[in-house]
């Protein structure tokens, strides 16, 4: 309504004719999921400033429009039913619960936080370790599983469970002090030190022949 009043001003004065036409269009416009105010009062649309066919206000066209609206409403109900088939309610959180917050852009679960306040519409105010506060919906929060701390083992009490003996190591063929190992190491070091060669680049000795075409 405020937009209609604002649009009716022209050259610093209020145009009553333009406002009357806009009110007529507003009353003839159907609402979402229901009929227009004119149809609710007169059971039919009224003529306005928009051009329309003379038979567009006939009762048969209104009946067909009602049938189409019922079909659209039924299709919307079926869509809602299929959507809710796999949906399930999420368990609410309490104040002090440790959660993980989903990033709204990257969709990654990386930010840890603590619930500090519970809102009325399944929303929560969480506080990050850096001290920042965020308001997030329940579907953007996950329960954070705390890691269990390992109990320290006392020196006199060995840990319960079957004892695992280390596998025996095979004997070394060449002990570190043997002559074979030292010789192999020297050979490897000798291979690594390569002296640069001063040989001239090799040239091809193949004889080249001129082509026989275009000689005549």
Q: Which of 83, 107, 134 is the last residue of a domain?
A: 83
Instruction: Extract the tokens encoding 71.
Output: 């079909």
Q: Which of 60, 83, 106 is the last residue of a domain?
A: 83
Residue 152 lies in a domain: no
Backbone angles phi, psi at 90, to 5 degrees: -95, 145
- The Cα 55–Cα 205 span in angstroms is 101
- Domain carrying residue 113: 98-143
Residue 77 sits in the same domain as residue 108: no
Could you write out the DSSP letters of every residue in 90-106? PPPP-TT-EEEEEPTTT
Rounded to the nearest 10°, the torsion over CA 134, 138, 140, 143 is 100
- The Cα 214–Cα 133 span in angstroms is 88
pLDDT for 137-149, tens place per residue?
A: 999 999 987 665 5
Residue 20 sits in the same domain as residue 75: yes
pLDDT for 15-46, tens place per residue?
A: 888 888 888 888 888 777 667 888 778 877 78
Q: How many domains does the chain have?
A: 2
Residue 89 lies in a domain: no
Stated pTM of the model: 0.37
- Whether residue 178 is predicted with pLDDT greater than 80 in this model: the reply is no
């Amino acid at each position: 309504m405020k937009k209609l009043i604002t649009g009716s001003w022209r050259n610093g004065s209020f145009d009553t004719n333009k406002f009357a036409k806009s009110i007529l269009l507003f009353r003839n416009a159907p609402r979402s999921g229901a009929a227009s105010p004119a149809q609710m009062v007169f059971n039919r649309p009224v003529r306005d400033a928009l051009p329309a066919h003379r038979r567009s206000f006939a009762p048969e066209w209104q009946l067909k429009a009602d049938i189409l609206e019922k079909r659209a409403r039924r299709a919307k109900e079926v869509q809602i039913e299929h959507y809710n088939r796999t949906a399930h309610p999420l368990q609410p959180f309490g104040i002090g619960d440790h959660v993980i917050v989903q990033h709204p852009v990257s969709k990654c679960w990386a930010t840890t936080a603590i619930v500090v306040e519970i809102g009325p519409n399944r929303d929560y105010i969480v506080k990050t370790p850096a001290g920042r506060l965020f308001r997030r919906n329940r579907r953007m929060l996950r329960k954070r599983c705390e890691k269990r701390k390992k109990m320290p083992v006392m020196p006199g009490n060995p840990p319960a469970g079957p004892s695992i003996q280390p596998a025996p190591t095979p004997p070394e063929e060449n002990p570190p002090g043997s002559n074979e190992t030292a010789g192999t190491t020297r050979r490897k070091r000798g291979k690594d030190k390569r002296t640069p060669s001063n040989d001239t680049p090799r040239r091809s000795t193949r004889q080249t022949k001129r082509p026989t075409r275009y000689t005549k």
